[in-house]
Amino acid sequence: MDKKQSQLIKALTIDLKEDGWEKSRGFVMRDVPMPVLDEKRNKEDAISVILKIRYAGVCGSDRGLWYRTAFKDLVRDSLEKEGKSMRINGHEFVGEIVEMGSMVHRLYYDPDPKNKAKIEVGSLVSGDSHVTCGRCYQCRIGEEHVCMNESILGISIDGIFAEYVKIPAKNLWPVDESRLRPEIAAIYDPFGNAVHATSVVDMRGQRIAIFGCGPIGLFSVLLARNSGAAKIIAVDVSKENLKMAKELGAHETILVEKTKKKDEWESDRNVVDKIMKITYGKGVDISMEMAGPFSSVNNSIDSTRRGGHVILFGIKDGNLVIPKFSRVIVRGLTIHNIIGREIFKTWQTAQRILNDKQNDITEAIWKVILKSGKGTILNFKDFTPENFEKAMNENPKIIFKM
Ligand SMILES: [Zn+2]
Ligand SMILES: [Zn+2]
């Protein structure tokens, strides 16, 4: 082993052998080996880079991992396949390229002198969290976001909650730091989810209900407003999140109150009735489910007008019941399922929206959702499960500063 390889770095992890899944929660800070490029041993390293992570976003899916409510099978099965028990978590990042494999320049360096954001040593880059195969049918026809053999950073392959990471160069999205704050560049990935979700249906003049005002729901409020939606109704279980949604441009807000239900998938009559009232008994044109709970999926379906669109994005393990499913067909609803981002079409759109100084979206994300960094930017080195959980519960979005 050479010197570099024996170096240890800090990473946030789940070890299924040490920590287990069912009876544990959270991530554990562990010493892991410094990633290295060794093309003799691993050919793929020729098309990979080593990044020094600068900021790392904490996602709703990290919350799912932290509380063990989602991704159990993906984590377990992928670790089994790799013959190990520890996963490095995290997938939203911005970092500096410190080393490149021998083929990276040849394949990914854009020689256009007008393009200031490049893939080269010293560049700042974000990137997609879905590592795709490039060979399957979908990849070949430009639908990489539904690759048959994809892996997801931090879930089914090692992620980026670490000081240094190795990552395939094809996933990288160069960032022009003179045009975008790096803390925002770290959350390109979830912002891209919202861009993807809000671009499947034309929102101009439409009434839209957004169920779930976590970060991606909140981004969707901003984007729906920017796309000319006539009415945006924000729905959430948190008064704080609804207050933010209103600040970001939601016209109406509805608090989901905890009620006793026979089944977890039952819709909330109260919420649906309120939406019906706001829409003069019709229902919204577009529902966006950005939360995950099964009741929220049924709220979305029940609140949508005949012929309307239901956009599903939230993920939860388990079996969902849609009562009287025939209604979905008879009422002519269209259901869209959103996964990831279109690579790199969504990224290009996201870049234009985030770099635009006039639409105020970057400023709104920074000032409202990230509270100008107050309590939302955590020092990676100071991680403790207690301060992390506290910050995660007090803010819709938190970011590690590495
Ligand atoms: Zn994410
Ligand atoms: Zn593929």
- Concatenated DSSP letters of 212-264: --SHHHHHHHHHHHHTT-SEEEEEES-HHHHHHHHHHT-SEEEEPPP---SST
Nearest ligand for residue 128 CA: 1
Neighbour tally for 367: CB within 10 Å: 13
Angstrom distances, CA of residue 28 to CA of 149, 388, 400? 28, 11, 15
Give the ranges where 3-59 is alpha helix by DSSP (H): 3-6
For ligand 2, the distance from its centroid to the CA atom of residue 137, given in whole angstroms, is 7
Q: What is the pTM of this model?
A: 0.94
Q: CATH homologous superfamily for 3-191+342-401?
A: Medium-chain alcohol dehydrogenases, catalytic domain (3.90.180.10)
Identify which ligand lies nearest to the alpha carbon of 65.
1
Ligand 2 is an ion; its neighbours by CB within 5 Å are: 132-133, 136, 139, 147
Distance between Cα 177 and ligand 2 center (Å) = 31
Distance from the CA of 146 to the center of ligand 2, in angstroms? 7
pLDDT value of residue 2: 58
pLDDT for 3 equals 56
Residue 154 CA, ligand 1 centroid: distance in Å: 10
CA of 308 to the centre of ligand 1 (A): 27
Q: What angle do CA 381, 25, 220 make, to 5 degrees?
A: 80
- How far away, in angstroms, is 118 Cα from ligand 2 center? 25
133 alpha carbon, closest ligand: 2
CA max distance for the chain: 70
Domain ranges of the chain: 3-191+342-401, 201-337
Task: Please tell me the distance between residue 362's alpha carbon and the centre of ligand 2 in angstroms.
Answer: 32
Closest by Cα among 139, 15, 162 to 79: 15
pLDDT at site 5: 59
* Fold for the domain defined by 201-337: Rossmann fold (3.40.50)
Along the 402 residues of the chain, how does pLDDT read in single tens digits? 555 657 999 999 999 999 999 889 999 999 999 999 999 999 999 999 999 999 999 998 899 899 998 899 999 999 999 999 999 999 999 999 999 999 999 999 999 999 888 999 999 999 999 999 999 999 999 999 999 999 999 999 999 999 999 999 999 999 999 999 999 999 999 999 999 999 999 999 999 999 999 999 999 999 999 999 999 999 999 999 999 999 999 999 999 998 888 899 999 999 999 999 999 999 999 999 999 999 999 999 999 999 999 999 998 888 999 999 999 999 999 999 999 999 999 999 999 999 999 999 999 999 999 999 999 999 999 999 999 999 999 999 999 999
Both structure tokens of 132 = 């795709």
**Are the C-beta atoms of 248 and 214 separated by less than 8 Å?**
no
d(CA 192, ligand 1 centre) in Å: 10
